[in-house]
A and B are shown apart, each in its own frame.
Chain A
């Protein structure tokens, strides 16, 4: 077996084409940007034949050409990906093989986009997302990693090697390096993105890392939202002393430098005191409170329905809650082991808790601000004049109408949480050092960065693309929700 080159035989035609197109496109874009600043406003009129007048002149033509170049660029990249599928092993180079490994993800992506675009008029805000290029790119990036995490985590596809196994002789080796005795041991013949300083496959570690991020980041964000909403609504609605106290506490946490907090909270010593368990017991109670109040305020007038729904929702939640916070050896061992569904390792729990803790005050402030705005509406007054309880007003009259900005912030916040997780990994806090999550792998890679740059780059780019996707998605959602 030969080592793989980056692009294999596709390199000779497609790659130069892509590079040239990209270069011309970028130059055009920059030129257009510079000219755009000084250009006059467009005169808004129609031509004699009824068509709309476009922007004429050099700039107008430039805008047209860059648009076409962008389409060409996308098509060339697509061609590269599709071509690599049908080529025999090795011919398409490293990039081609990676694209081949991601085949299930591509199929899932194509299916998602095809279905969504077909039915976009019936899908509300989600459908409208497919009217905005930015939103579509963002959604694509996010779904790419979501699907990757699903296929890696549930079906064990995509990854070429075990993320923890070390193969001697490929320590710090460059991408495309041949795995010795691969055929004999039934291993994948190359380290596609090279090996790290413990001779583990970087590509496999990168895709495995997506699973960890995809589980913790959204979940932690959900919890932060539960806490922020449950406290932010009454703070904004009642105002007064309650608001002053809660806002003071929120500002207190916000004034705390995040890194310092992490360094103080996420250490083995703190885990030993059981503090994270107490914090978890406090923070994780919020979903129970939230759903309990949500249902109770709505069905208060019909007691039979009320009890039924409360039972359906609260019993499983309570079980989950007790299983989460109670663990053997922790000071909160309050739930018999027989009923305990699962234990969460202390390291993960403390990471989770501190991320929720850091995010909640910001959510609190957003929810509080939205509540202050919405509570002046007449429909809130109407609910008050018919004697609704305050929690009904907060949860059923105010919250649903604050959903637009909250959804946008939710996307942004998942991205921010991903960054925070990476920061923790970067300082080697919380997660075990061999964990393949992106932050930890960047941390490992950066130590030898000036000598071997390749191990740190793939997780860095993966994290970047994922957060970028979430930001673009949020931007697209914001734009589309503001239209009409």
Chain B
């Protein structure tokens, strides 16, 4: 049975269909899906949540749970049909020939088992090797995934490691038996951008070293571009386009792929001159798919009577490039993008919000469980100073633990500042908790939250929740007044008025986020803090929600504080950018200043880490070592010195001993760094755009 000289495709999926069966109906999750992976090749599957990409991976693993069934097609691994294998045969293949890496590293490791044991188990099961040999193998692989102090790693429990380290362990576990196929299901989604970049780099290197084929599943086009040779775009359970990376990225042949690329903020997009084009409508639910082309109702090229009739097969657009579109030969793919409504860049008005040397420290007991008196001070925000003007967008960028959420809490009055001041219209509010603020102040400063599934109370209708906000802001004289105002707010966020009586669970993520925005603007807020408002949304919805936010901002002259870790979207919509790291503002300036050299070394690394879905862009490769230090235990001197690649130039001892001063480089551009002016001036741009934006 074993055939080492096998040289056909490693994985060959042919017309695979998978359904889930519930009490009420059969829900087709994947339909008519075909793919092929050759030895050493990496295939990326891209699509929005619910498109069936993860189901494909589980189908390959034959692990669909109690309700899932393969209802058609075949999955051949090295020529053998996985569907026809018994449980024993499958068990032999799992872990030894096909290995899988998932989204959440913490959850994928057994919390009560030492890491070494979890790693050693793999060769011991599949190759029956001795414990000693398995240990040596584990040590070797852990060294390969570049973890420090491998022996200690093997002896620790998962919770003692950071997220990035855990994911490396999961990767090591997958590679223990040198599998021929590695399936990665959104392996970096839970990680910070700079850590993600390092993990992606590692996976690429190891893939080459071990000669493993990869099936890479992601919602991020940029990430697929960096890791894969071929790509398959999925939409609503079907593969809609398939081909090499270059073909699909540069010569796309399906309207969905095109729309997807137009809705993501690539360098060159600008909120005023070249706004994003959102895909209209919503992702269809699995049991509400339209007849004919699934993308039909949202497609610009939709033709009635043709696109909504019957089954649409995959067609060859080119050799090795297929598309599931009837009209791909008729569509002029090179037609210039009909640029959406261009708008004037509004002039920022007067200063409405001013932060001056704001500090927020927490006292935390050193050990949560065992108590004790030795308290630690966590410096969540350290000397924050900036101004925000009317109708300006200020982006606050940083990874986890940088203090951006704490800052929002202090501004909102949920926490009071330790030191410094916050001036709202020249009134001090830094030590006024929310209970003590007057209604007008509260209505003026509002917030849009990150998680759409959490932002609305699940047991209250949408209308009721908005009306409650109106009541509390004392708007409207009676119930009718408020109801009318609520309906107007729904109009404002472009939701049908019928939604007033819906429960939040009947809404999609994007719609919920719109309600959240309507609620924030109920009292005509002048300052809106948007805490990663689109990061949990699908790519195609992100653009629409972002545009909505921009539009309301223009009309209301709102000051928008946009908190995000996603530099692409920040570059697209922000007027000014503030980069934070471990509570410190390391760089502050206009968007142009921050995105061009001279950079703060952290900004430079951050820019390099963000994957960009454009084949024409050349990026400088900067991979940071290690993880973000814990805010409980920050490094001495410059907060970034442990991972900085410029440390030697500035003088290591200086960086390790002193917090750098704030330096003004140009008008409104400040950096917290010890580097000399000459070194800063010598920095090269991280991103090179060959063709300047039209």
A residues contacting B by CB (< 8 A) are 40-41, 43-46, 50, 52, 131, 301-302, 377-379, 381-388, 396-397, 400-401, 403, 484
Contact = CB atoms under 8 A, between A and B. Distances in A.
Given A40-B87, A378-B454, A384-B434, 17 more contacts: A44-B68, A46-B69, A46-B72, A50-B71, A52-B21, A52-B69, A379-B456, A379-B458, A384-B414, A385-B442, A385-B446, A386-B443, A386-B446, A387-B435, A388-B472, A400-B459, A400-B460
B69 A45 contact: yes
Contact of B437 (A46, A50, A378, A387): A387
A45 B471 contact: no
A45 B23 contact: no
B472 A387 contact: yes
Contacts, number: 81
Contacts of B70: 44-46
26 contacts: A44-B69, A44-B70, A46-B69, A301-B471, A302-B471, A377-B454, A379-B458, A381-B414, A382-B449, A382-B455, A382-B516, A382-B519, A384-B434, A385-B414, A385-B447, A386-B443, A386-B472, A386-B473, A386-B519, A386-B522, A387-B434, A396-B460, A397-B457, A400-B460, A401-B458, A403-B459
B87 A43 contact: yes
A382 B447 contact: yes
Interface string B62-94: 001010111110000000000100110000000
B451 interface: yes
Interface in B453-471: 454-460, 469, 471
B412 A301 contact: no
A93 to B, nearest CB: 41
A301 B451 CA distance: 29
B449 A41 contact: no
B277 to A, nearest CB: 29
B658 interface: no
A381 B450 CA distance: 11
Contact of B457 (A41, A131, A385, A401): A401
A300 to B, nearest CB: 9
A484 B64 CA distance: 17
Nearest to A376: B454
B657 interface: no
A41 to B, nearest CB: 6
Contacts of A378: 449-451, 454-455
B428 interface: no
Nearest to A50: B71
Interface of B: 21-23, 64, 66, 68-72, 83, 86-87, 412-414, 434-435, 437, 439, 442-443, 445-447, 449-451, 454-460, 469, 471-474, 516, 519, 522-523
Contact of A44 (B64, B86, B451, B522): B64
Nearest to B473: A386
Contacts of A301: 471-472, 474
Q: Which of A40, A45, A131, A484 has the most CB of B within 10 A?
A: A45
B469 A386 contact: yes
* The 6 residue pairs across chains A and B that have the minimum distance between CB atoms: A378-B454, A400-B459, A378-B449, A387-B442, A379-B457, A378-B455
Contacts of A40: 87
Contacts of A403: 459
B459 A401 contact: yes
B32 to A, nearest CB: 15
Nearest to B457: A379
A400 B446 contact: no
B410 to A, nearest CB: 12
A381 B412 CA distance: 10
Contacts of A46: 69-72
Nearest to B68: A44
Contacts of A45: 69-70, 83
Given A45-B70, A379-B457, A397-B457, A385 B450 contact: no
Nearest to B83: A45
Nearest to A397: B457
Nearest to B21: A52
A403 B443 CA distance: 31
Q: Which of B437, B445, B457 has the most CB of A within 10 A?
A: B457
Contact of A41 (B87, B413, B434): B87
B449 A387 contact: no
Contacts of A386: 442-443, 446, 469, 472-473, 519, 522-523
A127 to B, nearest CB: 13
A385 B412 contact: yes
A46 B19 CA distance: 10
A372 to B, nearest CB: 14
A241 to B, nearest CB: 15
Contacts of B437: 387
A456 B606 CA distance: 77
A119 to B, nearest CB: 16
A41 B91 CA distance: 12
Contacts of A383: 457
B501 to A, nearest CB: 16
B607 to A, nearest CB: 29
A401 to B, nearest CB: 6
Contacts of B64: 44
Contacts of B439: 387
A52 B471 CA distance: 55
A50 B71 CA distance: 7
B544 to A, nearest CB: 20
A403 B458 CA distance: 11
Contact of B449 (A50, A52, A131, A381): A381
B510 to A, nearest CB: 16
Contacts of B412: 384-385
B455 A379 contact: yes
B336 to A, nearest CB: 41
A477 B413 CA distance: 41
Nearest to B504: A379
A384 B442 CA distance: 10
A385 B445 CA distance: 8
Contacts of B472: 301, 386-388
A342 B471 CA distance: 42
Contacts of B443: 386
A66 B654 CA distance: 79
